[in-house]
Amino acid sequence: MKQPATTSQKIGNFAASLGACLIFVYVFLPFLTESVTILNRMSQYLDNNGIDPTRYYYTDVEQVKESEEYLQTALNGY
């Protein structure tokens, strides 16, 4: 029968998972962006035009405001 993991094993597994995620996000993805021509061009375009893609698609687009107004109207009934 397999024994349950100890607290130190759980912490070690968590640290390894967190480390793998951080390496993926901060090492592998930037390397991929620099290595693939089309991704590099898109990244440079966003940087040159001052576009922050993390905010752009959710807050800076006019359609988001329109959809929020529509949803508010639909939920409130007026």
29-51 pLDDT per residue, tens: 999 999 999 999 999 988 888 77
Segment 62-71 shows an average pLDDT of 77
In a domain, residue 54? The reply is yes
In a domain, residue 3? The reply is no
pLDDT for 17 = 98
When divided into structural domains, the chain yields a total of 1
The answer on pLDDT for 58 being more than 70 is no
Range of the domain at 23: 8-76
User: What is the pTM for the complete model shown?
Assistant: 0.58
The residue behind tokens 């912490």 is 11
**Rounded distance, CA 22 to CA 16, Å?**
10
In a domain, residue 1? The reply is no
Confidence of residue 59 (pLDDT cuts 50, 70, 90): low
Return the DSSP state at 51. -
In a domain, residue 2? The reply is no
**Rounded distance, CA 76 to CA 1, Å?**
57
Helix (H, G, I), strand (E, B) or coil at 24: helix
Residues with Cβ within 8 Å of residue 46, at least 6 apart in sequence: 52, 53
Q: Tokens representing 8?
A: 């130190």
